[in-house]
Structure 1
Amino acid sequence: MQFLSDNAAAVHPAVWEALKAADAPDSPYDGDALSLALDERFSTVFERPCTALWVATGTAANCLALASMVPPHGGVVCHEEAHIEVDEGGAPGFYLHGAKLMLARGERAKLTPAAIRAVIDPIRDDVHQVQAHAISITQASEYGCSYRPSEIAEIAGLASDRGLRLHVDGARFANAVAYLGCAPGEAAGPADALSFGCIKNGAMNAEAIVFFDPALAEVARYRRKRAGHLQSKGRFLAAQLHAMLADDLWLANARHANGAAQEIAAACGERLMHPVEANELFVRCSASERETLRGRGFGFYDWGDGAARFVTAWNTREDDARSLAQAIADL
């Protein structure tokens, strides 16, 4: 019974069908009909004009988005536990040619205007110190907590006042939207770019970088090619994105994953370390308790000393979620 990661989930059948349908001659790279239709498709989702570029990984989506808005001598303010800092193997420094990640603190791996100001206010306005050029937030956060639209609006207001760009790492953006019950545009806020995650939500190997500033997208096109992410048969990535957006499959998948997480959360009580506002649960468990759960057939990651992380997915079986909930209650 797999709760290691939503990355381990199966590919959704609708995505497989879309891949099969795309297996026909068309223009190479991003000149095919499916790729060319992505801008309009995502503009409909976000209810404002945008440009969407496909890439094969979330790391590439984050780093190419940031590289389009931050020069090598600049910096990106992010949470100290953000994925770009902790789990991307130095890729931001590679793609941004040495630009600095400027780390801020905040509860539940979320940034606040005060936390951002604590990082940028002490910086002198001279060539001897790295100047911030962008802010990156994660929706939902690394601890599965969702930013409310009002929280993003406050951060965006600060970014605007300071002349900073705003990037949203949306690896689990669908789960945040499903939890918040708001429009996608509200969950993204007035961002300049969003990494729209699909792989964790049922796709095989396709993510989207959604740019709300077309000038940034033009920069990213060149950077995508230089980074080796301009795939020659891009229609297969575009097909996956269209399949996920069709009939709001991306939201239906996220709602299922979130629902499974809520069922498990109801059994955790005071063991929960953070509110469950997406599809991740961080649960206090001793080493012996974790071994007990593994002995009952559950896969999950240890998360520091005395904790376990469980992640549900679009295809988590209801029986498995119930079984895990009962097993935790039995500890």
Structure 2
Amino acid sequence: MQFLSDNAASVHPRVWDAMRAADAPDSPYDGDALSISLDEKMSSLFGRESKVLWVATGTAANCLALAAMVQPHGGVVCHEEAHIEMDECGAPGFYLHGAKLLLAAGEGAKLTPDAICAVIDPIRDDVHQVQPDAISITQASEYGRTYRPEEIAAIRALADERGLSLHMDGARFGNAAAFLDLPAGEVAGAVDALSFGFVKNGGMSAEAIVFFDTALADVAHYRRKRAGHLQSKGRYLAAQVHAMLDGDLWLENARSANAAAAEIGGACADRLMHPVEANELFVRCTPEEREALRQQGFGFYDWGDDAARFVTSWNTREEDARALAKAIAGL
């Protein structure tokens, strides 16, 4: 019974079908019909003009988006536990040619305007210090917490006041949208670029960088090629994105994962470290309790010395979620 990660989940059958349907001659790179039509499709979904670049990984999506916003001598304000800080092996520094991550605190791995100001206000406006160029927020956050539209609007207002770009890491954007039950445009807010995640949500090997500041896409096209992410048969990546968007499969899958997480969360009581607002649960339990759960057949990651992380997926079986809920309740 697998709760290690939504990356461990299988690929949705409709994604495989879409890739098979794309298995015919077409223009190479991103000149095929599927790739070209992504701009219109995302613009319709978000209610804003957008330009879309597919890439194979979330790391590339985050870093190429930020590279289009940030100078090599600049900085990106992000949470101290953000994925770009903790889980990307220095990739932001590599793609951004040495630009610095400026780390801020915040409950639930979420940023606030005050937390951002605490980082950038002490920076002198002179050549001796790294100047902030952008802010990066994560929807849903590393602890499965969601930004409400008014929270994003407040950060956007600060970004505008300080002349900063705003990026959203949406590796679990679908789960945030499913929890908030709001249109995609409201869940994203007025960000300049969104790393729209599909791999964790039933995709195979395709993520989308959605540029709402469309001028940034012109720069990112070149950076994607230079970084080795312009795949020669891009139609297979574009096909995956289309499959996830068609009929709102991305949202259907996220709702399924969230429902499984809610089932488990209902049994955790005061063991929960954070409210369940997506498909991740952080649960207090001792090493002995974690071993007892593993002996019952549950796979998950330890989270420090006194907790565990459980992640549900689009295809988490109801009986597995119920079994884990019962096991945690019985600890």
Q: TM class, shorter-chain normalised?
A: over 0.9
**1:169 equivalent in structure 2:** 169
**1:124 equivalent in structure 2:** 124
**1:144 equivalent in structure 2:** 144
Cα deviation code 1:88-132 (max 9, x no counterpart): 000000000000000000000000000000000000000000000
**1:284 equivalent in structure 2:** 284
**2:88 equivalent in structure 1:** 88
Write the distance in 1 (CA, Å) between the matches of 2:191 and 2:317.
35
Q: How many residues align?
A: 331
**1:225 equivalent in structure 2:** 225
Secondary structure of the equivalent of 1:281?
strand
* Residue 323 (str. 1) matches residue 326 (str. 2): no
Per the TM alignment, residue 214 of structure 1 is displaced from its structure 2 partner at its CA by 1.3
**One-letter code aligned to 2:143:** Y
Secondary structure of the equivalent of 1:168?
strand
CA RMSD of aligned residues (A): 0.3
Write the distance in 2 (CA, Å) between the matches of 1:303 and 1:78.
21
Per the TM alignment, residue 213 of structure 1 is displaced from its structure 2 partner at its CA by 1.1
**1:37 equivalent in structure 2:** 37
* Residue 59 (str. 1) matches residue 59 (str. 2): yes
**1:212 equivalent in structure 2:** 212
Please, which runs of 5 or more residues in structure 2 have no aligned partner?
none
**One-letter code aligned to 1:192:** D
Per the TM alignment, residue 285 of structure 1 is displaced from its structure 2 partner at its CA by 0.6
- Structure 1 length as normaliser, TM-score? 1.00
**2:78 equivalent in structure 1:** 78
Alignment of 1:304-315 (within 5 A): 304-315=304-315
Write the distance in 1 (CA, Å) between the matches of 2:219 and 2:275.
38
* Residue 68 (str. 1) matches residue 68 (str. 2): yes
**One-letter code aligned to 2:243:** A
**One-letter code aligned to 2:79:** H
**1:300 equivalent in structure 2:** 300
**One-letter code aligned to 2:314:** W
Alignment of 1:175-186 (within 5 A): 175-186=175-186
Task: Please say which of residues 263-272 and 181-190 is displaced more in the overlay.
Answer: 181-190
**One-letter code aligned to 2:107:** E
**1:202 equivalent in structure 2:** 202
Please, which runs of 5 or more residues in structure 1 have no aligned partner?
none
**2:50 equivalent in structure 1:** 50
**1:267 equivalent in structure 2:** 267
**2:113 equivalent in structure 1:** 113
Secondary structure of the equivalent of 2:27?
coil
Name segments (4+ residues, structure 1) moved above 4 Å: none
Cα deviation code 1:190-214 (max 9, x no counterpart): 0000000000000000000000011
Write the distance in 2 (CA, Å) between the matches of 1:11 and 1:92.
28
**1:103 equivalent in structure 2:** 103
**One-letter code aligned to 1:27:** S
Per the TM alignment, residue 18 of structure 1 is displaced from its structure 2 partner at its CA by 0.2
